[in-house]
Each structure stands twice: as structure tokens, then as C-alpha cells.
């Protein structure tokens, strides 16, 4: 089968089309014919560094997938050949979604939302599960709470705005001015132009901050919280240290890593099918142009998601 591979770590130019053996599903796994693969910051971070588990060594890239079940492994009863599935298998282990086929534990995937194309469905799992696990599983965002979403126009942010709204929260997002209409259209009640306005002065009495930017945004976001409020950070593990600072102030903060999540995928599907969640796809490129997709993504200016069309 065709896949994207790399011999060495480096910039987007190290990515190339390779021919490799089609994988075989082990017991409990399914073989998926990949129709589309979403592109995420973790992809270019693994391309350049090898990632947390295999530092210094290239790994097969791609965790976001939408496709059809080709065959099922021993003992799998929840799917059969031809079923349409989507998901985020194996993370933080490699999944290899930049390929014509991948294998995945059956419950790392779920049935694709009926109303989404494969391209749209492939844009949803990593970013959508991250937003869901941060806002719902971790922070338990509830009706009437004030939620601040940093990078509200990005892959995670644009889904987080909609998930927080669906839970009945008052949502404030940060984005540059040209993306304010987009973020408001997603349901945000207020949008702060972070280039001209300090969010610390513009956002007050916040219950939950989702910080997808990192660096100084973590400690500065603590200043927007009401007593007992919480910052959930996803940009860098270094933000784990923020927890101690927050605790000293009667606040909470922590770093979260997204996990494979069958129930979370079904929750996202329910939101899509009830009209509460839509996926914005900024660019679709063929698998061969994975390097270009990384260049676009690494610009840090994406509105929504970038997706590779594979089948």
C-alpha cells in the first residue's frame, strides 16, 4: 500500500510517498481502508522530533482517520466489512493514518456520523476528543458557566466553542480580527482580538479556560478566573507546573493529553447529528501533498482543520 514515510527527522520536506506492506488486524482490531486523514500539530511535532515515546526516531504519522472497515480481527463483533468508521486510534502510540490502510483496536473507532463526509469526519477525532475531554470529562462545564477558549478559530478551539455552547455556557474566544465572524458564527458570545486587546483585562470571572496556546497564556489565564475556576492546558507538558501556582491561589490548573475514546466519539456524533457541532475544513490536499499540508498547518493560522484525502 501507499503511505507517507520519512527516513530522518526534519522539516516537511522529509515526508515522501513510500510503498509498505498492508497491516494485518490482530485479535480485537479492525483493518480500515482510509478515505481521509486529519492533520494535527502532533503530526508535525512527531515528524520533527519522533515524539514522547520514540524521541529521535521517525514514526508512522497520522492519528485522525475516517474510512471503511475492510476486515475484522479475531473476536471483533461490533463492526463488519463495509461499515463506515472514524476515530483517533492508539495515541500516544503510532497509528499510521497517512496510509491507504491502518489497523486499530475496534473501540478506538466508532461509527462515522451519517451526515459527515469522510473528509469532515477525519477532521473531527483528535481536535473534537481533545475539546470534549477537556471541557466535559475534566472541567465538567455546566450551564451558565463562563468559558474562555484560547485559539478559538483553530482545530481544537472551533470545536471547543461549540461544545461549550451546547452545554449552555457563556463562551468567550480569542482570535485575530479577521476570524471573529467565523468564531461568532460558531456561537461564541464574545471574541477578543488577542493582537490588540489583553485578554486578562477583557475576560473576567471565568469558570473554565481551555488554553490551546501555551507559554505565558497559562499563568496569565489564571488571572481571569473566579475563585475555584480552572485552566485546562493542552499546548505543552511544561504547563503541568502551573498546577502548583494555581493551587496556591485557590484555583485549579493542569495539562491534559487526549486519549482514544469510543464513548467520546459517540458523544461528538450525537452533537453533530443534533445540529450542535459542525466541522470547519480549511484545506483538503491529496496524500502525496502531506508536506504541503504540514507547511500550511505549521503556519499556525489555520481556520478549522486541514485534511488529507487518501482514497
Ligand X SMILES: NC(=O)c1ccc[n+]([C@@H]2O[C@H](COP(=O)([O-])OP(=O)(O)OC[C@H]3O[C@@H](n4cnc5c(N)ncnc54)[C@H](OP(=O)(O)O)[C@@H]3O)[C@@H](O)[C@H]2O)c1
Q: Which is nearer to ligand X, 83 or 190 (CB)?
A: 190
Nearer to ligand X, 112 or 179 (CB): 179
Using the minimum distance from each CB to ligand X, give the nearer residue, 130 or 145. Answer: 130
Asked if 149 interacts with ligand X (CB under 6 A), we say no
d(C-alpha 152, C-alpha 302), whole Å: 11
Piece of the chain touching ligand X by CB under 6 A; list 1-9, 23-31, 110-118, 123-131: 123-131
Q: How far is the CB of 75 from ligand X (least distance, A)?
A: 29
- Cell numbers 500539530 correspond to what residue? 41
Q: What is the DSSP string of the chain?
A: -EEEE-SS--SGGG-EEEE-PPP-PPTTEEEEEEEEEEE-HHHHHHHHH-TTTSTTS------EEEEEEEEE-TT--S--TT-EEEE--STTS----SBSEEEEEGGGEEEPPTTS-HHHHHTSHHHHHHHHIIIIIIT---TT-EEEETTTTSHHHHHHHHHHHHTT-EEEEEE-GGGHHHHHHTT-SEEEETTTS-HHHH--SEEEEEESS-TTHHHHHHTTEEEEEEEEE-S-GGGGGHHHHHHHTT-EEEE------HHHHHHHHHHHHTTS----EEEEEEGGGHHHHHHHHHTT--SSEEEEE--
Among 47, 172, 297, 310, binds ligand X (CB under 6 A): 297
- Which of 76, 123, 151, 281 is the binder for ligand X (CB under 6 A)? 151
Is the Cβ of residue 40 or residue 224 nearer to ligand X in the bound state? 40
| Residue 188 cell numbers, joined | 461564541
Residues 82-121 that bind ligand X (CB under 6 A): none
Tell me the CA end-to-end span of the chain in Å, nearest whole number: 11
- Of 165 and 179, which has the nearer Cβ to ligand X? 179
Of the pair 102, 153, the CB lying nearest ligand X is at: 153
Applying CB under 6 A, among 213, 272, 287, 307 the residue interacting with ligand X is: 213
In the set 6, 42, 66, 117, which binds ligand X (CB under 6 A)?
42
Q: Which is nearer to ligand X, 84 or 282 (CB)?
A: 282
Q: Which residues contact 197 (CB under 8 A, 6 or more apart)?
A: none
Q: Does 125 bind ligand X (CB under 6 A)?
A: no
Q: What character string, x for contact with ligand X (CB under 6 A) and - otherwise, covers 157-176? A: x----------------xxx
Told to check if 264 binds ligand X by CB under 6 A, we report no
Kindly identify the residues of this chain, within the stretch 224-263, that bind ligand X according to CB under 6 A.
234-235, 256-258
Q: Closer CB to ligand X, residue 83 or residue 259?
A: 259
Of 7-15, 17-25, 110-118, 294-302, the segment contacting ligand X by CB under 6 A is 294-302
Chain residues that interact with ligand X, rule: CB under 6 A: 40-42, 126-127, 130, 150-151, 153-157, 174-176, 179, 194, 212-213, 234-235, 256-258, 297, 300-303
Amino acid at each position: 500500500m501507499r503511505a507517507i514515510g520519512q527516513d530522518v527527522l526534519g522539516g516537511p520536506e522529509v515526508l515522501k510517498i513510500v510503498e509498505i506492506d498492508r497491516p494485518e488486524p490482530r485479535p480485537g482490531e479492525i483493518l480500515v481502508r482510509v478515505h481521509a486523514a486529519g492533520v494535527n500539530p502532533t503530526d508535525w511535532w512527531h515528524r520533527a522530533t519522533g515524539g514522547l515515546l520514540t524521541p529521535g526516531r521517525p514514526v508512522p504519522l497520522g492519528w485522525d482517520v475516517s474510512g471503511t472497515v475492510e476486515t475484522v480481527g479475531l473476536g471483533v463483533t461490533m463492526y463488519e466489512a463495509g461499515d463506515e468508521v472514524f476515530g483517533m486510534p492508539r495515541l500516544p502510540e503510532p497509528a499510521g493514518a497517512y496510509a491507504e490502510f491502518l489497523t486499530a483496536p475496534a473501540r478506538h473507532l466508532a461509527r462515522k456520523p451519517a451526515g459527515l463526509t469522510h473528509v469532515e469526519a477525519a477532521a473531527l477525532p483528535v481536535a473534537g476528543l481533545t475539546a470534549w475531554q477537556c471541557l466535559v470529562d475534566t472541567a465538567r462545564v455546566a450551564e451558565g458557566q463562563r468559558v474562555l477558549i484560547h485559539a478559538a478559530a483553530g482545530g481544537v478551539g472551533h470545536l471547543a466553542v461549540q461544545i461549550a455552547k451546547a452545554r449552555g455556557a457563556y463562551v468567550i474566544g480569542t482570535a485575530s480580527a479577521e476570524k471573529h465572524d467565523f468564531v461568532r458564527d460558531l456561537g461564541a458570545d464574545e471574541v477578543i482580538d488577542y493582537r490588540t486587546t489583553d485578554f486578562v483585562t477583557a475576560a473576567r470571572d471565568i469558570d473554565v479556560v481551555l488554553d490551546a496556546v501555551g507559554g505565558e497564556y497559562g499563568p496569565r489565564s489564571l488571572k481571569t478566573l473566579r475563585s475555584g475556576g480552572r485552566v485546562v492546558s493542552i499546548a505543552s507538558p511544561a504547563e503541568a507546573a502551573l498546577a502548583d501556582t494555581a493551587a496556591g491561589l485557590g484555583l485549579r490548573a493542569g495539562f491534559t493529553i487526549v486519549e482514544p475514546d469510543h464513548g467520546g466519539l459517540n458523544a461528538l456524533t450525537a452533537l453533530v447529528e443534533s445540529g450542535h457541532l459542525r466541522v470547519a475544513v480549511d484545506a483538503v490536499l491529496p496524500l502525496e501533498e502531506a508536506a504541503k499540508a504540514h507547511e500550511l498547518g505549521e503556519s499556525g493560522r489555520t481556520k478549522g482543520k486541514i485534511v488529507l484525502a487518501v482514497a
